[in-house]
Chains A and B, each alone.
Chain A
Amino acid sequence: MNRLATAFRDLRRNGAFLLMVLPGAAWFILFCYLPMPGAIFAFKEFRVDLGGGFFGAIFRSEWVGFKNFEFLFKAHDAYIITRNTVLYNLVFIVLGLVCSVAMALLLFQLTQKRLAKLYQTAMFMPYFLSWVIVSYFTFSFLSVDKGVVNQLLGTLGVQPIDWYSDPKYWPYILVFMNLWKGVGYSSVIYLAAIAGIDKTYYEAAMIDGASKWQQTLRITLPLIRPMMIILTILAVGGIFRADFGLFFQIPRDSGALFPVTNVIDTYVYRSLKVLGDFGMSTAAGLYQSVVGLILVLTTNKIVKKINEEQALF
């Protein structure tokens, strides 16, 4: 009785707070937690015609065990999409880190601060554009008959290349586009960190006669290293999630390019909307979520070892 009274008192005391979190909590439950049991479709033959809507489908659809996974892994698809997702992300992480830190260091050194600001603003622009827009940009360069690249090749006497049907160029194109869109904004973040470094370090170094290069190696880089490590490890945690827009919009959904452009996310989408194979699509999604969770937990553990405060949880 007493305990019940305390519980009620607590609820009343926190009434205002509970009212505040109510809309948000309802959203999380509807859009994040309600779908979670739906992952069960990975082990079922999904049917919507059984009545009862979402829950009806969950309870009444027939169990098929691991058939959906078997299908996914036997068809060789699982290998290709996993390879593409992981390898592209690894390259993005490594090159992205190197390029954006280098660019931040460069911008920091420029003597004309106004120009540096202008460059920074310009580099930030791709971050604000959607992949749909960017794919129009790439098309203006890579179009077979009108594109700039083929025109240039033409003036050099090289035969025009059918970019959108030849897979061999696409690993480079995708890496290039990822860097083009991302380096500006991450270098701006690193630059903000560098600008926050206490100026007295540099003054002391100058008095001691350290060159710019030495200052960079001995002051700037060591001081932004924690940030580099944390951001990289977090990115590694997300290595199983691909940037859907990049892999879906930039190659213009061209089937000839699938061997090098299909990643887990595009595969899940196409199985759902194009093939209508709910079971296999859910299975691929669940595979991604579970491996992703394991990766995040592992990387978080590593972060915790390096720096307790920076760990996510």
Chain B
Amino acid sequence: MSMIPKTAGAAAVPAGTSRRSRDFHRLSPFWNTIFHLVSGGFALACVFPFLFVVIISLTREQSLLEVGYRIIPDALSLSAYRYIFQTGDQLLQSYLVTITITVLGTLLTVVMTTLYAYALSRKSFKYRGFFSFLAFFTMLFSGGLVPTYIVVTQFLHLKDTLWALILPMAMNAFNILVLRTFFQTMVPDPIIESGKIDGAGEFRALFSLVLPISLPGLATIALFSTLGYWNDWFNALLYIDSNQLVPLQALLMRIQNSMQFIIQNSSLLSSGQSKEMIRSLPQETSRMAMVVLATGPIVLAYPFFQRYFIQGLTIGAVKD
């Protein structure tokens, strides 16, 4: 029976005493059901749109034209995926661009952030205050979109290069904050100082003492960065014109914009013209299949990595 000693209040209701005392730490079946309905319902609402897009991508194009998007399609077909793999040069190119910037960008971010955050985490670094300010002031004030755009295009001349997709996102103060806090809590100063007595320099201390026990922290930064690069379309929107350099998300955005353009201007275009434009775009199901292919890797991978995101977000939210 229950381990909880019966209180006077519980004793006053003899019938079902044990159930009532259990209620203190267990939800009653009624409320448990309600809670499951609410949270489970919201959970379903969060994944449903993705499942729906998967279903649409597997529907036969003809049935889409006849009855619209259906949760239970009347005719299944893999032709959208077949079409993409046969004719999807642009998609493959965009995949390549996205993978390249994600890998390079994440490496760059992790290396630069680790070095910067480690220096800030060490009390013996004399100019720590100055470099902390240099990083964290950027959280408060920025020159704004236009000056940044002008610097990137007119001064650094990165327009229409792969670097325009990598460099603007390579660092941010938040990552430094997370990693610095992580180093400070995981690796107490005495450990490093003792290592230094044994003759290790700061780089040695970082690589052989600090990094091996800070891998979860690095993983957090790496995953935030991977997600950021994989999902980025904003830099492409600003800096990329060449089709060769369009990442996945920006490709999907472009297709969507052309669709919207045709819909909005259907009265201006002659019917032949708009038909021609529509024909040049992937069909409905193929577009949805591209969404699935662009999202698939993330959806499959994130359940295994989510604890690192939670960790990063909690460290970031509570500072030191």
In the assembled complex, the Cα of A128 lies from the Cα of B294 at a distance in Å of 12
Contact call A209/B68, Cβ cutoff below 8 A: no
Q: List 21 A-B contacts (CB under 8 A).
A: A17-B126, A31-B168, A33-B134, A35-B147, A39-B147, A53-B154, A120-B43, A122-B43, A123-B43, A124-B306, A124-B309, A129-B298, A136-B288, A136-B291, A137-B49, A139-B256, A140-B56, A140-B288, A148-B69, A164-B260, A188-B306
Closest to B35 in A: A106
What 16 new A-B contacts, CB under 8 Å, besides A54-B151, A164-B260?
A17-B122, A21-B116, A25-B134, A28-B171, A35-B147, A41-B147, A41-B150, A122-B43, A130-B231, A133-B295, A140-B49, A189-B314, A209-B9, A212-B24, A231-B317, A272-B146
With a CB–CB cut-off of 8 A, which chain A residues contact B36?
Answer: 110, 112, 115
In the assembled complex, the CB of A250 is this many whole angstroms from the nearest CB of chain B, namely 11
Q: Which of B69, B249, B264, B303 contacts A132 (CB 8 A)?
A: B249
Q: Tally of A-B residue pairs with Cβ under 8 A?
A: 308
Contact call A31/B167, Cβ cutoff below 8 A: yes
In the assembled complex, the CB of B317 is this many whole angstroms from the nearest CB of chain A, namely 6
The answer to the question of A296 belonging to the interface, with a C-beta cut-off of 8 Å to chain B, is yes
With a CB–CB cut-off of 8 A, which chain A residues contact B176?
Answer: 24
Which of B25-33, B73-81, B89-97, B183-191 is the contact stretch?
B25-33
With a CB–CB cut-off of 8 A, which chain A residues contact B314?
Answer: 189, 192-193
Contact call A53/B170, Cβ cutoff below 8 A: no
Contact with B along A123-150 (1 / 0, CB 8 A): 1111111101111111111010111101
Q: Which of B45, B134, B167 contacts A28 (CB 8 A)?
A: B134
Closest to B20 in A: A209
In the assembled complex, the Cα of A145 lies from the Cα of B113 at a distance in Å of 49
Using a CB-CB cutoff of 8 Å, which residues 214-242 of chain B contact chain A?
227, 231-234, 237-238
Contact call A212/B27, Cβ cutoff below 8 A: yes
The answer to the question of B197 belonging to the interface, with a C-beta cut-off of 8 Å to chain A, is no
Closest to A138 in B: B49
Using a CB-CB cutoff of 8 Å, which residues 1-56 of chain A contact chain B?
10, 13-14, 16-18, 20-21, 23-25, 27-39, 41, 46, 48, 53-55
CB-CB under 8 A for A207 and B4, given A129-B295, A147-B69, A231-B317: yes
The answer to the question of B85 belonging to the interface, with a C-beta cut-off of 8 Å to chain A, is no
With a CB–CB cut-off of 8 A, which chain B residues contact A183?
Answer: 42
Contact call B126/A13, Cβ cutoff below 8 A: yes
Q: How many residues from B make CB contacts under 8 Å with A?
A: 109
CB-CB under 8 A for A136 and B252, given A14-B125, A30-B151, A209-B10: yes
Interface residues in chain A, defined as those with a beta carbon under 8 Å from any beta carbon in chain B: 10, 13-14, 16-18, 20-21, 23-25, 27-39, 41, 46, 48, 53-55, 57, 103, 106-107, 109-112, 115-116, 118-130, 132-141, 143, 145-148, 150-151, 164, 180, 183-185, 188-189, 192-193, 202, 205-212, 227, 230-231, 244-245, 249, 252-255, 265, 268-269, 272-273, 278, 281-282, 285-286, 288-289, 292-293, 296-297, 309-310, 312-313
Contact call A118/B143, Cβ cutoff below 8 A: no
In the assembled complex, the Cα of A3 lies from the Cα of B115 at a distance in Å of 29
Q: Which of A103, A116, A148 contacts B71 (CB 8 A)?
A: A148
The answer to the question of B193 belonging to the interface, with a C-beta cut-off of 8 Å to chain A, is no
In the assembled complex, the CB of B209 is this many whole angstroms from the nearest CB of chain A, namely 14
With a CB–CB cut-off of 8 A, which chain A residues contact B288?
Answer: 136, 140
In the assembled complex, the Cα of A23 lies from the Cα of B314 at a distance in Å of 27
CB-CB under 8 A for A35 and B24, given A20-B118, A206-B4, A252-B260: no
Closest to B299 in A: A125
Contact call B202/A285, Cβ cutoff below 8 A: no
Contact call B26/A111, Cβ cutoff below 8 A: yes
Q: Which 3 A-B pairs have the closest CB atoms?
A: A38-B147, A285-B144, A35-B143
Closest to A249 in B: B253
Q: Which of B32, B126, B145, B171 contacts A27 (CB 8 A)?
A: B171
